[in-house]
Amino acid sequence: MHLGIRLRAIALASVGLFIVAACGGGNPTSNVKEGGTLTYSLDADAQTLNPFEVGDVSSARAIQFMFPNLYQADKNLNIVPDLADGMPTVSSDLKTWTVKIRKDAKWSDGSPITSADVVKTAQIQANPNLDTDASFDWSPLTDPVTGVTAKDTNTVVFTLTKTYAPFLAVNLATSIAPAAVYGSVDVTKMRTFEQDHPTVTGGPFLFDKRIAGQEIDLKQNPNYYGGKPHIANIVEKIITNTTAAAQAVINGDVNWDPEINGAAIDTVTAATGINSYVYADLAYYDIRFNDRAKWVDGSKDTLFGDVNVRRAFAYALDKASIVKAATSGHGTPMWGDIVPASAYYDDSAVVKYAQDIAKAKSLMDAAGWTAGSDGIRVKNGKKFSGKFFVRADKPQRVKAVEIMSEQLRTNLGMDLQPTPTDFKVFYKPIQAGNFDLAFAGWGLSLDPDDYTIFSSTQIRPEKTNSGSNWTGFVNADLDTAIAAQQTDLKPTSAATFAARKADFAKVEHILGDNVVVYFMWADNVGQAFNGVAGVQPGNNNSLNYADQGRNTQIFSAWSLTK
């Protein structure tokens, strides 16, 4: 029996305000200009416009205006309804989620958007035979087909095998596609279906035409359920040079650049007449140690298997200065895996290591590594020497590795040779467990669930061939805390949030105390607008929600000023 535990409470008040603000913008007012063409820059051509195939950032950006989400992120990255009519209800055993669909939504061919579309979308995403580069994970469902059903035209029921708190952000915050179009497609051939021209969509803008390699043109959807957009057309221009893209906004040739990095941030923020927002990205970098005692192939003892060595590494470095030098001041130093952009970010939960070279040296001594005649530490006749892998195509990371390598050699007697590596080759030794340390980067979803990165069940290659825990670190308390943040589903979203935040704090503490990895920074990225009104940044000036389809309703509220 379902008791219909409502996941609203505190969040709903802000949700309501948001919806009013966002949807209300769709109604013409005397102060808002109607019509015009918004030019938007993409740094590469979209690989696909099929919503089941989107696995790259450019495609996610290109498609974000065209398909509705079931749930979406608000400006502070809380999950709120989009196509859904209210927050989901969860059964008393916390395993059955029920979602109501709004009744006024229509596809571009005039047919209503119903529960059948949501069910079919989930079933296609859950189909193990789906040929895609996208990262869908519907494993919590009892069954990829029968685990999601339509109770009636506007009600969808998801049945899970377990209590799974990330379900809302990971699974329900997804774009919905028309069942009539995609439902009959052989999922093994989905990759080539409508990859360059979606025929039926339901977002604020509709596909108009595409000129390969140059632009994708969209037109206003007058029947959009979130309100008829003020802007008449969007032209997505492909601008491969980031300097040119940033300058194009200043020149007025482009209205919106969704990603500005590095020195271009300074250029844009200094320009007059440009609205720019600089904030921490929803991704981070860390130094990934091999925490095992030996390489997986048994050929070598690892350098960082001893926690004292990892702590010495942390104490030997001045993170703030390294991040500042590597990113030219456009990075936010981190001490945990919850990025500052996340609502779960808690600066007080992390373990910080202030530079203390004397302490670092004593820790190395305690670990049995003594200074050799050439200054490099030695243990049992073997030098502390290894390769410091880093992706060669990422200049900021290479610079950071070079600085750290120098500091560690000088301060601590570690011989860690910077090894820039082509990114197609970079992951092979790391995923095989045959490495000492590597500079890694992680793109994150809206939920900070770190199960695949740090749970010992996800250690690759020993435990799984698919996990992203390359460290080999095993800790029962860490596993318990990670499991808890996945299962802490409470009667209200506020209670769930509070419980999970406490769980994440435990995770952060264990990660930091054991220096499982050495966290580096989250990029500060920028978005710039010229002649666009209605853009609402979230906390800390963040516009993470206005990117890669995390929220589509906002686009009906935006307008052009000239």
Partner 1 sequence: MTFYVIRRVLIGVMLLFLMSFAFFGLTRLTPGPPFSTGENPRAHQELIDKRMNALGLNKPWYAQYPAYLNALVHGNLGDSYVYNQPVTKLLTQRVPNSVILLGTALIVSLLIAIPLGIFAATRQYSKLDMTTSVISYVGISVPSFVLGIFLLFAGGIWLRHLTGGDFYFPLFGMHKGSTSGLDDLVWHMVLPVTSLAVLSVAGFSRFMRASMLEVLHQDYVRTAKAKGLAQRTVNYKHALRNAILPIITLVALQTPQFVSGAIITEGIFSWPGMGLLAFQAAVDRDYPVILGVVMLVAVLTVTFNLLADIAYAVVDPRIRY
Beta bridge partners of 284: 442
Smallest separation, CB 300 to partner 1 (Å): 21
Total interface residues for partner 1 by CB under 8 A = 57
248 binds partner 1 (CB under 8 A): yes
390 binds partner 1 (CB under 8 A): no
**Geometric angle at alpha carbon 548, from 196 and 427, rounded to 5°:** 90
Beta carbon nearer to partner 1, 155 or 242: 242
398 binds partner 1 (CB under 8 A): no
Beta bridge partners of 287: 439, 518
Residues 148-177 that bind partner 1 (CB under 8 A): 170
Stretch that binds partner 1, among 236-244, 290-298, 475-483, 496-504 (CB under 8 A): 236-244
Near partner 1 by CB under 8 A: residue from 92, 146, 251, 321: 251
Stretch that binds partner 1, among 74-82, 174-182, 237-245, 520-528 (CB under 8 A): 237-245
CA atoms within 13 A on the CB side of 461: 12
Smallest separation, CB 382 to partner 1 (Å): 28
Question: Coil, strand, or helix at residue 125?
Answer: helix
Near partner 1 by CB under 8 A: residue from 93, 104, 109, 133: 133
Stretch that binds partner 1, among 101-109, 405-413, 447-455, 519-527 (CB under 8 A): 447-455
241 binds partner 1 (CB under 8 A): yes
238 binds partner 1 (CB under 8 A): yes
- Distance from C-alpha of 257 to C-alpha of 250, rounded to nearest angstrom: 10
266 binds partner 1 (CB under 8 A): no
Contact 256, 558 (CB under 8 A): no
374 binds partner 1 (CB under 8 A): no
237 binds partner 1 (CB under 8 A): yes
Distances (CA, A) of 537 to 75, 239, 540, 562: 6, 25, 8, 21
Smallest separation, CB 547 to partner 1 (Å): 16
| Cα-Cα end-to-end distance for the chain | 57
Question: Coil, strand, or helix at residue 279?
Answer: strand
Q: What is the DSSP string of 64-96?
A: TTTS-BSEEE-TTS-EEESSBSS--EE-TTS-E
SS (H, E, C) 144-174: CCCCEEEEECCEEEEEECCCCCCHHHHHHCC
- Distance from C-alpha of 128 to C-alpha of 213, rounded to nearest angstrom: 32
- Distance from C-alpha of 305 to C-alpha of 21, rounded to nearest angstrom: 53
Stretch that binds partner 1, among 5-13, 37-45, 105-113, 406-414 (CB under 8 A): 37-45
146 binds partner 1 (CB under 8 A): no
- Distance from C-alpha of 364 to C-alpha of 296, rounded to nearest angstrom: 24
Near partner 1 by CB under 8 A: residue from 125, 175, 220, 247: 247
DSSP single-letter state for residue 485: H
Beta bridge partners of 528: 257, 276
Contact 264, 246 (CB under 8 A): yes
Smallest separation, CB 469 to partner 1 (Å): 9
Smallest separation, CB 37 to partner 1 (Å): 7
Near partner 1 by CB under 8 A: residue from 253, 318, 365, 513: 253
- Distance from C-alpha of 290 to C-alpha of 472, rounded to nearest angstrom: 7
199 binds partner 1 (CB under 8 A): no
Residues 73-102 that bind partner 1 (CB under 8 A): none
**Token pair recorded at residue 308:** 């004292």
Near partner 1 by CB under 8 A: residue from 212, 299, 380, 476: 212
Stretch that binds partner 1, among 16-24, 240-248, 366-374, 376-384 (CB under 8 A): 240-248
- Distance from C-alpha of 368 to C-alpha of 488, rounded to nearest angstrom: 42
Chain residues in the site for partner 1 (CB under 8 A): 37, 39, 44-45, 47-48, 53, 55, 131-133, 135, 137, 170, 191-192, 195-196, 212-215, 217, 233, 235, 237-241, 243-245, 247-248, 251, 253, 393, 422-425, 427-428, 431, 440-445, 450, 452-453, 465-466, 468
